[in-house]
Chains A and B, each alone.
Chain A
Amino acid sequence: MSRRALSFLLPVLAGAFFIGLWYVVRLQVIAADQRFLLPAPDAILRAMGERAPMLWSATLNTATGALLGFGGAVALSFTLALGLSLSPLVRASFYPYLMVLQLTPVIVLAPILILWVGPGLKSVVIITFLICFFPLVVNTTQGLISTDRNLVDLFRMSRASRLQEIFLLRVPSALPYFFTGLRIAATLAPIGAIVGDAYAGNSGGGQGGLGFLTIIFSAQFQLPALFATAAVSCLLGFVFAGAVVGLSWLALRQWHDSYQRKDL
C-alpha cells in the first residue's frame, strides 16, 4: 500500500478504534447507574444537532473574540519584538514585566476587567490578547536576534541602512520563529476566548459564547450537550491551528529546511 494512502487511512482507523473503545468502556466497564457520566458518541451528536442554532451563535461569538484578541496580539507583539530586538538592555528591562502579563491568572484578571470595561466582547478580547501575547513576543524576539552573524556582517559591509537590515534580513530570517509562536498562540486563542467568556462574558442578547454555554449546560447537568460544546471548541481550535499551519506552509515551504522532503 502506498505511503500516501496509509497516511490517510491510519488516522481514520485510529479514530474508529477510539470510538469503539468509548462504547466498550461505557457498556462494559462503567456500572449501569453511572453511565450518564459518559454519554455515547451518538448521543453527543444528537445533542449537537438539537442545539445547533445555539452552538452556532456561541461559536461565532467566541470565534470573533478569539480572532480579535489573536490579531491584536500578533500586531502588537510584532511591534514590541522589533523594539526588544534592538538591545539586550531593552530586553532585560522589559522581560520581567512581560512575565507578569503571562503569570496573572485569568480568574484574577476577569473581575478587574469587568470593572474596567464591563463584561462582554471587550473583556473576552483582552483576555485572549493577554494569553496569546507572551509566546508570540518571546518567539519573534528570539528570531529577530538569532540572525546569522555572517549575514549581518555582509549587510553592514554593504552599508545597509538600519531599516534595510531589519526588513530585508532580520524579519525574514525570524519568520520560522514567528510561526512557531503563531502556532502556539493559535491553539491558545480559542481557549482564551472560551475561558474569558466563562469569567467575563456577557450572556445577554445572544452575545454568549462557548464559555457561557459550558456554564449553562453544566448547571443543567446536560452531559451530552457539554460534550458537544467541548467537541465544537476543539473544532474551532482546529480551524485556528489549521489556518496558521497553512500560512506557515505558504511562507516557508520554498526555502525552509523544515519543509524539505526527506528523500531530497
Chain B
Amino acid sequence: MSASSPVVEFTDVAKRFGDAPPVLSGITLCAQSNEFISLIGPSGCGKSTLLRLIAGLSPVSGGKLLVGGRPPAQEASDLAFVFQEPTLLPWLTVRRNIEVMLRLRHTPADRRRALADEALSLVRLTSLATHYPRQLSGGQKMRVSIARALTLEPKLLLLDEPFGALDEMTRDHLNEELLAIRERQRWTAFFVTHSVAEAVFLSTRIAVLAANPGHIVHEVPVDLPYPRTPETRLSPAYQTLVAKVSLLLRSVEVSTPHAA
C-alpha cells in the first residue's frame, strides 16, 4: 500500500445482525499510514464490531469498507488482532504461543524462531519463554498476546480494549511499552478503549462514538509530540485534551438513551 492511499477507509458503513436494529450506521472514517486511532464511547456503541469489520470477521451490511484498498477479508496477511482477553493457548509455553500464528501460516522453523525471539525481547519476556500461561500475571499474559500479534509483522494492528482488565499502573506501563514498540515497528493502529487517559496518551486521533445506532460524533486530533513518556501525562496540553475528550464523552453518554 502506498503512503497516499488510506490504510482503512470507511464510507457510510452500516452493520446490522439479522433483523435487529443496526449496530453501526453512517460510519465514515479514514486512517492514513502510521496513524494511531482510538475508538471511545459508551458500552454497546459498536466499537468492537467496528474492529471485527476491519478484521474481516464479520461482513458489512451497507456502505463501503476498504482495507489496504481492498475489501477486508483478503488483506488479512498483514493484519493482527489483539483481543480483550489474552486469548492464549493454555497448553503451550509462552514461546510456542507466540509462534502459533506463524505455524498456522507454515512459516519455516528458523524464521519462526527469529521472529518469536524478536517479539519476546520487544515485550521484555525473554526470561519467561518456557513458562505456561497460568504461571503469568495478567499484564504478562497481555504482553504475550501483543508479542504474538507482532510476529506477524503487521501493517495494521487492531486492539480491542487490550488493557481493560488490568490495574491502572500496569496499564500505564503497557501503554508506554506499546508506544516504545511503535517507535521501532511501523504500523497503523485501531485501539478500542473505555479510558480517556489511555486514548489521549496513545493516539494521533480519537473517534468518539455514540450508541443506538453506533456512529462517530466527534473526531479529536491529538497533536502531542512523540515519543510520549510518563512526563507527557503531566503536561498541560495532555491534561487539557483529557478534559476535552471526557466532556465530549459525557455529552455522548448523557444523550444516548440507555436500554436498561
> Interface readout for B94-105 with A: 1 if CB under 8 Å, 0 if not?
000000110111
> Interface readout for A147-177 with B: 1 if CB under 8 Å, 0 if not?
0101101111111100010001100110100
| Closest chain A residue, CB of each to CB of B132 | A255
Question: How far apart sit A255 and B79, CA to CA, in the bound complex (Å)?
Answer: 29
Question: How far apart sit A159 and B152, CA to CA, in the bound complex (Å)?
Answer: 13
List B81-102 residues whose CB lies under 8 Å from chain A. Answer: 81, 83-85, 87, 89-92, 100-101
Question: How far apart sit A148 and B101, CA to CA, in the bound complex (Å)?
Answer: 16
User: Is the Cβ of A158 less than 8 Å from the Cβ of B57?
Assistant: no
Question: How far apart sit A164 and B92, CA to CA, in the bound complex (Å)?
Answer: 15
Question: How far apart sit A158 and B149, CA to CA, in the bound complex (Å)?
Answer: 11
Q: Which of B81, B100, B105 contacts A159 (CB 8 A)?
A: B105
Give the chain A neighbours of B90 by CB distance below 8 A.
173, 255-256
CB contact under 8 A between A148 and B87, given known A158-B105, A168-B104: yes
Q: Is A254 an interface residue (CB 8 A)?
A: yes
Question: How far apart sit A130 and B132, CA to CA, in the bound complex (Å)?
Answer: 38
Give the chain B neighbours of A254 by CB distance below 8 A.
91, 132
The main secondary structure of chain B at its interface with chain A is loop
Give the chain B neighbours of A159 by CB distance below 8 A.
76-77, 104-105
Q: Is B133 an interface residue (CB 8 A)?
A: yes
List B115-160 residues whose CB lies under 8 Å from chain A. Answer: 132-134
Give the chain B neighbours of A148 by CB distance below 8 A.
87
List A120-154 residues whose CB lies under 8 Å from chain B. Answer: 148, 150-151, 153-154
Q: Is B24 an interface residue (CB 8 A)?
A: no
Interface size, B (range): 20 to 34
Q: Is B192 an interface residue (CB 8 A)?
A: no
Question: How far apart sit A168 and B87, CA to CA, in the bound complex (Å)?
Answer: 14
User: Is the Cβ of A151 less than 8 Å from the Cβ of B105?
Assistant: no
Question: How far apart sit A255 and B132, CA to CA, in the bound complex (Å)?
Answer: 6
Q: Is B55 an interface residue (CB 8 A)?
A: yes
User: Is the Cβ of B91 less than 8 Å from the Cβ of A255?
Assistant: yes
Q: Which of A153, A164, A172, A257 contacts B104 (CB 8 A)?
A: A164
Q: Is A34 an interface residue (CB 8 A)?
A: no
A256 vs chain B, min Cβ distance (A): 7
CB contact under 8 A between A150 and B83, given known A255-B133, A256-B90: yes
Q: Is A7 an interface residue (CB 8 A)?
A: no
A253 vs chain B, min Cβ distance (A): 10
Question: How far apart sit A151 and B55, CA to CA, in the bound complex (Å)?
Answer: 15
Question: How far apart sit A169 and B90, CA to CA, in the bound complex (Å)?
Answer: 10
Give the chain A neighbours of B85 by CB distance below 8 A.
150
User: Is the Cβ of A151 less than 8 Å from the Cβ of B87?
Assistant: yes
Q: Is A2 an interface residue (CB 8 A)?
A: no
Question: How far apart sit A96 and B101, CA to CA, in the bound complex (Å)?
Answer: 39
> Interface readout for A12-46 with B: 1 if CB under 8 Å, 0 if not?
00000000000000000000000000000000000
Question: How far apart sit A260 and B132, CA to CA, in the bound complex (Å)?
Answer: 12
Q: Which of B76, B79, B89, B103 contacts A151 (CB 8 A)?
A: B89
B96 vs chain A, min Cβ distance (A): 11
| Closest chain B residue, CB of each to CB of A153 | B57
Question: How far apart sit A154 and B134, CA to CA, in the bound complex (Å)?
Answer: 19
Give the chain A neighbours of B105 by CB distance below 8 A.
158-159
Question: How far apart sit A169 and B101, CA to CA, in the bound complex (Å)?
Answer: 12
User: Is the Cβ of B81 less than 8 Å from the Cβ of A154?
Assistant: yes
Give the chain A neighbours of B77 by CB distance below 8 A.
159
Instruction: Give 28 A-B contacts (CB < 8 Å), ordered by A residue.
Output: A148-B87, A150-B83, A150-B84, A151-B87, A153-B57, A154-B83, A155-B104, A156-B57, A157-B55, A157-B76, A157-B81, A158-B101, A158-B104, A160-B104, A168-B100, A168-B104, A172-B89, A172-B91, A173-B90, A175-B91, A254-B91, A254-B132, A255-B90, A255-B92, A255-B132, A255-B133, A256-B91, A257-B134
User: Could you list 10 further interchain pairs (A-B, Cβ under 8 angstroms) beyond the known A150-B85, A164-B104, A168-B104?
Assistant: A148-B87, A150-B87, A154-B101, A155-B104, A157-B79, A158-B76, A159-B77, A169-B89, A256-B91, A260-B134
* Chain B interfacial positions (CB closer than 8 Å to A): 55-57, 76-77, 79, 81, 83-85, 87, 89-92, 100-101, 103-105, 132-134
